[in-house]
């Protein structure tokens, strides 16, 4: 029997070791893939690979950023002197605009003369800027091709516009999304933590056994409700209520997202914190009471410090639920990529942006990599939150 028992023990140890190694390697590979795809964003421009930006050969502008190209084609910038060129009105043209300038006879069969006509038009118009597929240019193009500045980390983090569909140059400014995530998460944490901890303390130390046996299963049941159901609840109940209460044009705001996330995080915080508080040895509490401490003093000076590790774990899981939630936030926050100034404005969070746009982003393209770069930011934010909480956890009371 002993050899068989040893074989079973060794097999069990091997299975456990293999399982832990596979899990660790999988997580590591996911993180490596995330950073590899996200960092690739900063080695390229935001213009589609098959497009070039052509100007007159006498144009003094040496390079443009994606924001400047977007502003030029939106006619927010109308003179070349605004981007370092001469005092000439800008005439933005796309390939469709260029084709419409010529007759069918001039274009020829199958647009065979289009490359010659584009070169001629660009050279005759000093203010023109044309977004053209590279295949429509002559090999020895006499005009000037404007290089676009590569996307920088600073531009990505501090940019205030997120317009991945802008043509010809997409704009990726993550600052509104970062602020939206922080506003909604911070609001949810400020609402959920005090309510969750107070409820956990009440259930563990004050409520009677019969009431606790009713409340605990109900609260645990709430954690199993799909997030989309919470989203529908927020959309049907909270959004109209906030709109009416604060007399807003729309009720989809950061406040609605914070309340929904707080409700979703409460079951996790309450359940884990209540279990941690109940693990405090009865002897410690009785010793405190015997020394003359009140029930409240015992709770504050003995029970909570003893259960601090479990309470911190509840906070970490609650914060993780708030920061990483997608569907419910997408439904109630308005999904507007603007810099928020109050909780009563529509916002867009990083998880909601990734969920809404990843399916439409071409695999391996600039938009695809920009979404992975957002994933890196979310990963770092979560890591910082957990590190801060762990630091508080290890600090002596």
pLDDT recorded at residue 255: 93
| pLDDT mean over 3-7 | 79
Neighbours of 22 (CB within 10 A): 10
pLDDT recorded at residue 395: 55
Would you say 328 and 237 are in contact if contact means Cβ atoms under 8 Å apart?
no
**Cα–Cα distance measured from residue 59 to residue 57, given in angstroms and rounded to the nearest whole number:** 6
pLDDT per residue as tens digits for the range 187-217: 998 899 899 999 998 888 888 888 888 888 8
Of 64-73, 317-326, 328-337, 362-371, the least confident: 317-326
Name the CATH topology of 51-150: D-Maltodextrin-Binding Protein; domain 2 (3.40.190)
Read off the DSSP letter of residue 47: B
Helix (H) or strand (E) holding 178: helix 175-201
pLDDT recorded at residue 349: 92
What pTM value is reported for the model?
A: 0.84
pLDDT confidence bin for 392, thresholds 50/70/90? low
Read off the DSSP letter of residue 206: I
pLDDT recorded at residue 174: 93
| pLDDT mean over 18-43 | 89
Would you say 374 and 174 are in contact if contact means Cβ atoms under 8 Å apart?
yes
Q: Which two tokens stand for residue 370?
A: 């920009």
Q: Please, what CATH class does the domain formed by 175-394 belong to?
A: mainly alpha
**Cα–Cα distance measured from residue 34 to residue 319, given in angstroms and rounded to the nearest whole number:** 21
Inform me whether the pLDDT recorded for 373 exceeds 90. yes
Strands 144-145 and 171-172 turn out to be unpaired
Would you say 349 and 177 are in contact if contact means Cβ atoms under 8 Å apart?
yes
User: Is 381 in a helix, a strand, or coil?
Assistant: helix
Strands 91-94 and 128-133 turn out to be parallel
pLDDT recorded at residue 80: 92
User: Is 171 in a helix, a strand, or coil?
Assistant: strand
For the chain, what are the domain ranges?
51-150, 175-394
**Cα–Cα distance measured from residue 235 to residue 324, given in angstroms and rounded to the nearest whole number:** 19
Residues in the chain: 397
pLDDT confidence bin for 369, thresholds 50/70/90? very high
pLDDT per residue as tens digits for the range 240-272: 999 999 999 888 999 999 999 999 889 888 988
Q: What is the mean pLDDT of the chain?
A: 86
Would you say 176 and 348 are in contact if contact means Cβ atoms under 8 Å apart?
yes
pLDDT recorded at residue 165: 84
pLDDT recorded at residue 384: 83
């Amino acid at each position: 029997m002993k050899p068989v028992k040893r074989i079973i023990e060794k097999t069990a140890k091997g299975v456990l070791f293999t399982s832990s190694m596979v899990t660790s390697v999988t997580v590591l590979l996911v993180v490596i893939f995330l950073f590899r795809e996200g960092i690739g964003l900063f080695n390229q421009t935001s213009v589609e690979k098959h497009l070039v930006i052509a100007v007159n050969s006498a144009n003094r502008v040496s390079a443009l950023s994606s924001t400047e190209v977007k502003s030029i084609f939106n006619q927010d910038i109308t003179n070349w002197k605004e981007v370092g060129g001469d005092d000439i009105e800008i005439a933005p043209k796309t390939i469709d605009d260029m084709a419409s300038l010529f007759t069918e006879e001039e274009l020829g069969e199958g647009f065979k003369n289009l490359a010659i006509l584009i070169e001629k038009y660009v050279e005759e118009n000093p203010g023109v800027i044309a977004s053209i597929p590279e295949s429509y240019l002559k090999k020895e193009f006499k005009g000037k091709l404007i290089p676009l500045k590569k996307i920088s980390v600073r531009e990505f983090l501090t940019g205030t516009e997120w317009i991945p569909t802008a043509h010809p140059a997409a704009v990726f400014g993550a600052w509104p999304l970062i602020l939206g995530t922080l506003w909604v998460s911070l609001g949810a944490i400020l609402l959920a933590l005090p309510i969750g901890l107070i409820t956990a303390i009440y259930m563990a130390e004050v409520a009677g056994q019969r009431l606790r046996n009713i409340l605990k299963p109900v609260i645990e049941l709430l954690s199993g409700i799909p997030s989309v159901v919470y989203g529908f609840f927020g959309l049907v109940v909270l959004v109209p209520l906030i709109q009416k209460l604060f007399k807003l044009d729309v009720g989809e705001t950061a406040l609605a997202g914070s309340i929904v996330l707080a409700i979703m995080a409460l079951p996790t915080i309450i359940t884990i914190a209540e279990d941690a508080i109940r693990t405090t040895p009865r002897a410690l509490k009785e010793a405190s009471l015997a020394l003359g401490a009140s029930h409240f003093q015992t709770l504050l000076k003995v029970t909570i410090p003893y259960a601090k590790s479990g309470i911190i774990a509840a906070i970490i899981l609650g914060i993780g639920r708030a920061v990483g939630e997608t569907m419910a936030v997408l439904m109630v926050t308005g999904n507007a990529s603007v810099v928020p100034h109050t909780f009563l404005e529509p916002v867009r969070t990083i998880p909601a942006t990734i969920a809404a746009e990843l399916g439409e982003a071409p695999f391996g393209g600039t938009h695809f990599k920009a979404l992975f770069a957002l994933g890196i930011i979310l990963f770092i934010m979560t890591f910082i939150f957990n590190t801060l909480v762990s630091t508080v956890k290890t600090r002596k009371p």
